[in-house]
């Protein structure tokens, strides 16, 4: 069979299982993006871009950062980000996916253990696939199970460094990691706690610094710049020796064209706004509290009403995609999420409370969802 025929058959099989993906344009009220503070299209960042261009900041980097692609805007961002997030130093990369690949493919060595939450992001898994370390999963948000798995690994002769990989806010569940308990576990076993703050940055913690900001464990954090910060890229924050190791050994960093210096300038502007405008975080929390109340009134399962991400789990894939389409037709941009992104039988509407909607929009959305639920009953 020719390659094109084989691929066509594979796509047809996905279509038959209601799993074929397609690119569709943004339309309607934004309940789908990760623009939690509404910064992506803001006047603030537009003015920051104009000012950066006016002072000569280039749009493109022209090469990897180890060649000619390193720019003073990259260096300034890393210095300011380290200070903002309370880390010794930081490294700016093209995206969070690339940053997680770099972390887990580079820092854990042969004989080490990466102990990861069962629902940790696909980007961490891609990095772990290239790692020489031992890999063990623990049940989602279950610190007791993490301790058991780690203790068994030690009892069976595991002697290396332990790396505990979690997200602070889980992207499809919307729930929060028990970071204090995980930090205690990391301290007990002299482990490094690696926290992906992608969906916490800009929303949780003082000035939107994330949920891991004040932990006592040896800590490495990832703050993506394309969600709450409204731009693009990823910032790895942690001890200088780890960052220097990534610069010297991480293939996703060494062999990638550097992020745009203009992009770095915009992330700097977003961080300055977070540091100087506490109304941004306060407004995000007002929206998410209102959304939680409306979700309860709509009869959604009260499984993870802890963050700006609200999963409306419907279970059936076809029903999920049909409801998503119906809501889009009614002016609400909501996307259906199916396996393999989420476990089988947990297809869902992923309702994201962004900075681009009002409290009235949120009320109307959940009223509409409740109507669809009643019709399906």
CATH number at residue 357: 3.90.1150.10
Question: Looking at 227, 245, 276, which one is the last position of a domain?
Answer: 276
110 and 199 housed in the same domain: yes
pLDDT the model gives residue 339: 86
Measured CA to CA, the distance from residue 242 to residue 194 in angstroms comes to 12
Question: Looking at 247, 276, 305, which one is the last position of a domain?
Answer: 276
Report the CATH number at residue 174: 3.40.640.10
Q: In terms of residue numbers, what domain contains 260?
A: 43-276
Q: Does residue 145 contact residue 137 with C-beta atoms inside 8 Å? A: no
Residue 309 placed within a domain? yes
Token output for 262: 């203009």
pTM of the model: 0.94
pLDDT the model gives residue 25: 84
pLDDT the model gives residue 341: 84
Measured CA to CA, the distance from residue 363 to residue 360 in angstroms comes to 5
207 and 341 housed in the same domain: no
Question: Which residues of the chain, if any, have pLDDT below 50?
Answer: none
Residue 323 placed within a domain? yes
How many independent structural domains does the chain possess? 2
pLDDT the model gives residue 203: 97
pLDDT the model gives residue 26: 86
Residue with tokens 């996905």: 14
pLDDT the model gives residue 316: 82
pLDDT the model gives residue 76: 98
pLDDT the model gives residue 280: 95
Measured CA to CA, the distance from residue 226 to residue 228 in angstroms comes to 7
């Amino acid at each position: 069979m020719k390659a094109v025929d084989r691929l066509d058959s594979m796509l047809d099989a996905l279509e038959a299982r209601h799993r074929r993906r397609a690119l569709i344009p943004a339309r309607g009220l934004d309940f789908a993006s990760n623009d939690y503070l509404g910064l992506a299209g803001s006047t603030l960042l537009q003015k920051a871009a104009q000012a950066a261009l006016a002072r000569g900041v280039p749009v493109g980097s022209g090469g990897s950062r180890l060649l000619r692609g390193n720019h003073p805007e990259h260096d300034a961002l890393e210095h300011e980000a380290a200070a903002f997030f309370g880390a010794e130093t930081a490294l700016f990369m093209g995206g969070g996916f690339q940053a997680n690949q770099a972390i887990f493919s580079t820092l854990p060595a042969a004989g080490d253990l990466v102990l990861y939450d069962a629902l940790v992001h696909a980007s961490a898994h891609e990095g772990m696939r290239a790692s020489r370390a031992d890999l063990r999963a623990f049940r989602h948000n279950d610190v007791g199970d993490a301790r058991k798995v780690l203790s068994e690994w030690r009892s069976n002769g595991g002697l290396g460094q332990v790396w505990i990989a979690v997200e602070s806010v889980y992207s499809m569940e919307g729930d929060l990691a028990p970071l204090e308990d995980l930090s205690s576990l990391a301290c007990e076993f002299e482990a490094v706690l690696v926290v992906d703050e992608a969906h916490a940055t800009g929303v949780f913690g003082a000035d939107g610094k994330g949920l891991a900001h004040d932990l006592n464990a040896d800590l490495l954090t990832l703050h993506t710049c394309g969600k709450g910060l409204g731009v693009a890229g990823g910032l790895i924050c942690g001890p200088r020796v780890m960052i220097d190791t990534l610069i010297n050994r991480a293939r996703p960093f060494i062999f990638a064209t550097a992020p745009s210096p203009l992009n770095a300038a915009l992330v700097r502007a977003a961080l300055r706004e977070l540091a100087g405008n506490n109304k941004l975080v306060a407004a995000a929390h007002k929206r998410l509290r209102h959304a939680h109340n409306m979700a309860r009134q709509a009869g959604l399962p009260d499984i993870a009403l802890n963050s700006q991400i609200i999963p409306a789990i419907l279970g059936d894939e076809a029903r999920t995609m049909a409801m998503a389409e119906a809501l889009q037709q009614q002016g609400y941009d909501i996307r259906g999420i199916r396996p393999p992104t989420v476990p089988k039988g947990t297809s869902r509407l992923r309702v994201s409370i962004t900075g681009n909607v009002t409290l009235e929009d949120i009320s109307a959305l959940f009223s509409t969802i409740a109507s669809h639920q009643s019709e399906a009953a």
